[in-house]
Amino acid sequence: MKKLSSCKIGLIGVGNMGVSILEGVLARRLTVPSRVWVYDKDLAKARSFSKKHHVAVAASVPDLIKKTDVVLLAIKPQDFLLFAQEYKVFFKPGQGVISILAGLTMEKIGKAIGRNAVIVRAMPNLGAKAGASMTVVCGKNKKWLSFAAALFSGCGEVAMLPEKTLDLVTALSGSGPAYFFHLMELLEDFGVKQGLPRSVAATLAVQTGLGAALVAKDSEVSCGELRKMVTSKKGTTEAALKTLNKKKFGKIFQSALAAAMRRSRELRK
């Protein structure tokens, strides 16, 4: 296996996640544009990314597979089986395939595209767009696993965990940005209803979320302890948290996470 800096990388699926990952890798100069190929069935997406970052657009999926050492698979999980049926014969012996497809196990992917390729799974999140993704990688081949960890380090933090944890990881961090976006959306909407201009309410919500995240990241104490530090007895924060507890917000939110885990498992069927 080649080092990241000399490996030829192909991206199939030029959507938000695939684009964000490659932008991080290119921005940190972990590879150069001349070693990157992209393909999307919507050729306009591929050409737009190529124009912006000077990477090559593959003429087809087989063309991309032929020209690259590792394929980053970023299509919809629901499209995978048809993709595998059509293109499995083109994968080369020992070729790396890094899948960010939610729910689909390495075994299922390996059976579908054949035993030529070496499969690694990864679960990043949309934080990759800001170089702040949380990505979990898993795989049985140590060399390709290390390659994947190096690749995703270009767009944030990386952890290696057993594959059995990935449904949980998908619910917690893969889908996680949406939960925080929704909370900021609710804060913004409340501010607007109380008379603030939307732009001001949005700034209050987003900057507060950013500040909380930065404090938590650099803190030596838990998020629970930080929450207690902000919650003065009989103060405004306590009033808000008491209402959340009375409405059983914690149980509701954990039910939502459990639903995300179930859906991740369902995608395998």
pLDDT in tens, 49-89: 999 999 999 999 999 999 999 999 999 999 999 999 999 99
Quick one: tokens of 162? 């057993």
Q: Which of 116, 112, 81, 118 is nearest to 98 (CA)?
A: 118
DSSP structure string for 180-209: HHHHHHHHHHHHHHTT--HHHHHHHHHHHH
pLDDT in tens, 116-167: 899 999 999 999 988 899 999 999 999 999 999 999 998 999 999 999 999 9
**Is 108:266 a contact under the CB 8 Å cutoff?**
no
Q: What is the mean pLDDT of residues 82-110?
A: 94
Q: Rounded to 5 degrees, what are φ and ψ at 195?
A: 110, 0
C-alpha–C-alpha distance, residues 113 and 244, integer Å? 48
Give the DSSP H/E element, type plus range, for residue 138. strand 133-139
Cβ partners under 8 Å of residue 219, min gap 6: 226
130 vs 197 pLDDT, higher one: 197
Q: What is the mean pLDDT of residues 93-122?
A: 92
Confidence of residue 28 (pLDDT cuts 50, 70, 90): confident
Give pTM, 2 decimals. 0.90
Q: Is 119 helix (H, G, I), strand (E, B) or coil?
A: strand
Given a cut of 70, is residue 251 above it in pLDDT?
A: yes
**pLDDT value of residue 68:** 96
Using CA atoms, how far residue 48 sits from 52, 57, 86, in Å, is: 6, 10, 26
Q: What residues pair up with 158 in beta bridges, in sequence order? A: 135
**pLDDT value of residue 268:** 79
**pLDDT value of residue 1:** 52
Q: What is the mean pLDDT of residues 234-241?
A: 96
Task: Please state, rounded to an integer, the average pLDDT across all residues of the chain.
Answer: 94
Give the DSSP H/E element, type plus range, for residue 269. none
**pLDDT value of residue 167:** 95
In order of their start, the domains of the chain are 4-166 (3.40.50.720), 176-266 (1.10.3730.10)
Region at 10 (left for phi over 0; alpha for psi -120 to 50; beta for the rest):
beta
Given a cut of 70, is residue 2 above it in pLDDT?
A: no
b/e per residue 170-200 (b: at least 16 CB within 10 A): bbbbbbbbeeeeeebeebbeebeeeeeeeee
Q: What residues pair up with 120 in beta bridges, in sequence order? A: 98, 139
Confidence of residue 243 (pLDDT cuts 50, 70, 90): very high
Alpha-helical segments (H) within the chain: 16-27, 43-53, 61-67, 80-87, 106-113, 142-152, 166-169, 176-193, 198-218, 223-230, 236-246, 249-266
Residue with tokens 């952890």: 159
Residue 14, CB-side half-sphere exposure with 13 Å CA sphere: 24
